[in-house]
Amino acid sequence: MKIISLNNVHKNKVSVEGANGASKDVPLSVNDGAPIYSYRIFTI
């Protein structure tokens, strides 16, 4: 089980039209050993 603070997750800018200032965090993905799913958090 991975436990991480969202303060330690790299924020990626969302580059979709109309998403000014939005960011996407991916605290759990295939890079962490989750082969089937990813956990994403979008901040507006």
Structure tokens at 18: 């109309």
CA angle 2, 30, 15 (to 5 degrees): 105
Model pLDDT, residue 1: 84
Model pLDDT, residue 23: 95
Q: Does pTM top 0.75 for this prediction?
A: no
pLDDT digits (tens, 9 = 90+) for 1-44: 889 999 999 999 999 999 999 999 999 999 999 989 999 999 99
Tell me if residue 40 falls in helix, strand or coil: strand
Find tokens 């507006």 and name the residue. Answer: 44
